[in-house]
Amino acid sequence: MSNILIINGHPHPEQSLSGKAIIDELDRLLPQAQVRTLAALCRNGSFDVQAEQQALSAADTIVWHFPFYWYSMPALMKKWIDDVLTHGFAYGSTGTALHGKMLLISLTTGAPAAEYARGRSMTWPMEDFLPPLLQTANYCGMQSLPPVWSNGMIFINGVHGEANRERILAAAKDHAARIAAEVNA
């Protein structure tokens, strides 16, 4: 069976309705997967790089899950990539540790799907924001699975109503199911 590693890059996972629901559902659907919560693993501003690299080395399929922040990943997730995907480990002539592994990019956005289009507030479709992430996988010798995203996932207590909560929880379950289907395929 494939070793699945889920990197949860949300900087405030306990405050996120969709982030928590997606990870909870992934726990249920993929009980064999290891989830690493970067917000808990970053201590005094640093990761244990060796532990992170060991977890990556042991995995066959890796999921990077995060909320879309300024059309990219949160700084915490970016720091993890900068610190952990080092020369000699992830790239360079001897950096082959990630070769042949599968990577799935999983993200949520605040803006609704209709806004990610030409002539709308986000100007470009979602696919146009993903090449730097997909190229990170390529450069490290990983194969990208089709990215999974869900739009319109922002929920602010007291601002958004119960109908929105229910819609987001259902979308989060669907999001996790799409990830599980891909990594199990």
Ligand X SMILES: Cc1cc2nc3c(=O)[nH]c(=O)nc-3n(C[C@H](O)[C@H](O)[C@H](O)COP(=O)(O)O)c2cc1C
**Residues at the site binding ligand X, with contacts judged by CB under 6 A:** 16-19, 67-71, 108-111, 153-155
Task: Kindly tell me which of 61 and 108 has the beta carbon lying closer to ligand X.
Answer: 108
Q: How far apart are CA 20 and CA 168, in angstroms?
A: 11
Nearer to ligand X, 9 or 61 (CB): 9
Residue type, 96: T
CB of 13 to ligand X, least distance (A): 8
CB contact at 8 A, 86 and 95: yes
CB of 183 to ligand X, least distance (A): 21
Tokens of 55: 């977890």
Closest-by-Cβ residue to ligand X is 110
Name the minimum Å distance from CB 82 to ligand X.
18
Amino acid at 46: S
Q: Cβ 86 to ligand X, closest distance in Å?
A: 27
Check if the beta carbon of residue 148 is closer than 8 Å to that of residue 178. Answer: yes
Question: Of the candidates 180, 184, 170, which has an alpha carbon nearest to the alpha carbon of residue 21?
Answer: 170
Taking the mean position of all CA atoms in its chain, how far away is CA 138? 16
Of 30 and 154, which CB lies nearer to ligand X in the complex structure? Answer: 154
Nearer CB in complex with ligand X: 58/75: 75
